[in-house]
Amino acid sequence: MGGILSGRVESFQLDGKVAVVTGGGSGIGAAIARRFSASGASVQVLDLDLPAAKLVAGEISDQGQSATAWACDVSDQKNVDSVFQNILRGQRIHVLVNNAGIAHVGTLENTSENDFDRVYRVNVKGFYNCMRACIGPMKSHGGGVILNLASIAASAALPERFAYSMSKGAVVAMTYSVARDYLRDNIRCNCISPARVHTPFVDGYIARTYPGREQEMFAKLSNAQPIGRMATPEEVASLALFLCCDEASFITGVDYPIDGGFFNLRG
């Protein structure tokens, strides 16, 4: 695996592997797609927003690496199955990164049934649909890696994140179940639970919710992490790369926090 450059062993490579990244058109997903491609993977960029997916895939291609954009609604099983069948024509899928998801702000009382169902369809059923579409081919080709993006909201009591926390708790539970059921098929399944990550979504949320107080609220949200800042998408992508490469071949069934000390260093 890898090669020797200037006397050093080149580690954390995905040479010759095909990686599917859902929600790859922006934020964490885009950072993962770029990092994986720079490490040798042929990246399949899936996103509901096809122009965004094409932009990321185009940037990767301009760097001389391989990437293909696909329009995909992860909540629609028929659409997911069709996209994965097209990807699987003539190649296998080595890595699936389930990243596509939506946020929701609200307590139990002010979360409508429609909002609850929408969060479930994307954040829970969407992950199920994509894992279901690739698990059979992974088994038949001797294994693979599945990485799910969860959240510290799965384990921590965050205010006004009722539906979102529900969905990410389900992601962690599904991760454990898949890891256990497919041990003998050489399929590893882990998840990452980030604290707050600085993405365009965060900037948009602050601008919509706190007009005129953007700098104040950005600082407040940043300082919620004991380390004093939000994570960058690239930092999450670095952990994702490690968990999906051969150096992590002994790791499965684990929920990895990347939280700036949120759990253990508060107070």
Residues noted as catalytic: 164
- The torsion angles phi and psi of 6, rounded to 5 degrees, stand at 55, 40
CA-wise closest residue to 101 among 127, 83, 78, 81: 127
The answer to whether residues 17 and 220 touch, using CB atoms and an 8 Å cutoff, is: no
| Separation of alpha carbons 12 and 22, rounded Å | 21
Q: How far apart are CA 82 and CA 130, in angstroms?
A: 11
Sign of CA dihedral 130, 136, 141, 145: positive
**Phi-psi label, residue 263: left if phi above 0, alpha if psi -120 to 50, beta otherwise:** alpha
**CA-to-CA distance for 157 and 154, rounded, in angstroms?**
8
